[in-house]
């Protein structure tokens, strides 16, 4: 049984110029522990696909199953529960809670689902270099430090699936490479699968596979158009 299965997924939006098809019969599976980079032109539907998998939006048709449980038919409350227990979302915007100190931000989701592991927490803190930041508030951190807190928070409860949308997009190239290397290793250590949207060929190279989304269709593995750069 695959961890994540997507079947004949279709999504379109009605615009003044007509019906815009974003996803047109997308099919794929992701196994436990697997890491996938999802690439494609800007606006091709990569983020839309992640939002559908997370249950943040509804498809026109198709199925999404996480650990054999359908997502799209669930109520919003049940989807929120599924995200809390089995998923993590890491975005370009860090979404840290400004009124909580770093340690409380880091523990937030693990506390919600009652899966706080002190040993793994300490390992995350050390590997991400956050030992001296725990009593600070998010606004006292650099962008790279905030992203490291967001990554630690996303992994502490050891989710089945991590969904990441340009997770290093706000960082400079050197910081991006450092954070990506740490992120990739820690995801593996947590035993999670990773589906990551990125525009960067270099970031995608850290993961097991690269897929390409174009004209509503998914190429697995990626067949990248020659005209598209890094």
- pLDDT tens-digit series, residues 177-211: 888 888 888 888 888 999 999 988 888 988 999 99
Question: Is the confidence at residue 140, as pLDDT, over 80?
Answer: yes
Region 117-142: what's the mean pLDDT?
Answer: 93
Residue 223 pLDDT: 54
Predicted structure pTM score: 0.89
Residue 169 pLDDT: 74
- Let me know: does 168 contact 147? Beta carbons within 8 Å: yes
Residue 127 pLDDT: 87
What is the percent of the chain where pLDDT is above 90?
63
Residue 81 pLDDT: 93
Residue 180 pLDDT: 84
Domains in the chain, CATH or no CATH each = 4-219 (3.40.50.300)
Residue 23 pLDDT: 96
Task: Encode burial over 44-73: b for 16+ CB neighbours within 10 A, e otherwise.
Answer: bbbbbbbbbbbbeeebeebebbbeeeebbe
Taking the CA atoms of 181, 185, 190 and 194 in sequence, report the sign of the dihedral they define. positive
Of the candidates 116, 88, 113, the residue with the CA atom closest to the CA atom of residue 194: 88
Question: Is the confidence at residue 224, as pLDDT, over 60?
Answer: no
Of the candidates 115, 93, 206, 107, the residue with the CA atom closest to the CA atom of residue 160: 115
136 vs 15: which has the higher pLDDT: 136
Residue 199 pLDDT: 86
- The per-residue pLDDT for range 76-128, each reduced to its tens digit, is 999 999 999 999 998 877 889 999 999 999 999 999 999 999 999 999 999 88
Of the candidates 197, 120, 185, the residue with the CA atom closest to the CA atom of residue 153: 120
Residue 107 pLDDT: 95
The set of long-range contacts for 178-182, using a CB threshold of 8 Å and a minimum separation of 24, is 178/144, 179/144, 179/147, 179/148, 179/151, 180/206, 181/206, 182/127, 182/128, 182/148, 182/151
Q: Please work out, in degrees rounded to the nearest 5, the angle formed at the alpha carbon of residue 64 by the alpha carbons of 41 and 10.
A: 50
Question: Is the confidence at residue 230, as pLDDT, over 60?
Answer: no
Question: Is the confidence at residue 227, as pLDDT, over 50?
Answer: no
- pLDDT band of residue 3 (cuts 50, 70, 90) is very high
């Amino acid at each position: 049984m695959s961890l994540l299965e997507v079947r004949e997924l279709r999504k379109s939006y009605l615009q003044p110029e007509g019906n815009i098809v974003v996803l047109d019969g997308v099919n794929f599976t992701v196994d436990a522990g697997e890491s996938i980079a999802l690439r494609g032109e800007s606006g091709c539907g990569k983020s839309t696909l992640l939002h559908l998998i997370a249950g943040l939006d509804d498809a026109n048709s198709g199925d999404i199953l996480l650990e054999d449980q359908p997502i799209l038919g669930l109520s919003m409350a049940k989807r929120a529960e599924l995200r809390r227990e089995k998923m993590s979302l890491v975005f370009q915007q860090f979404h840290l809670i400004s009124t909580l100190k770093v340690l409380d931000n880091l523990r937030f989701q693990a506390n919600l689902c009652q899966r706080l592991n002190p040993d793994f927490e300490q390992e995350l803190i050390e590997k991400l270099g956050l030992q001296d930041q725990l009593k600070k508030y998010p606004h006292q951190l650099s962008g790279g430090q905030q992203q490291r807190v967001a990554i630690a928070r996303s992994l502490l409860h050891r989710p089945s699936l991590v969904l990441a949308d340009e997770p290093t997009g706000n960082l400079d190239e050197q910081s991006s490479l450092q954070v990506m290397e740490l992120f990739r290793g820690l995801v593996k250590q947590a035993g999670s699968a990773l589906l990551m949207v990125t525009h960067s060929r270099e970031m995608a190279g850290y993961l097991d596979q690269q897929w390409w989304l174009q004209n509503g269709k998914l190429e697995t593995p990626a067949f990248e158009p020659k005209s598209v750069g890094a």
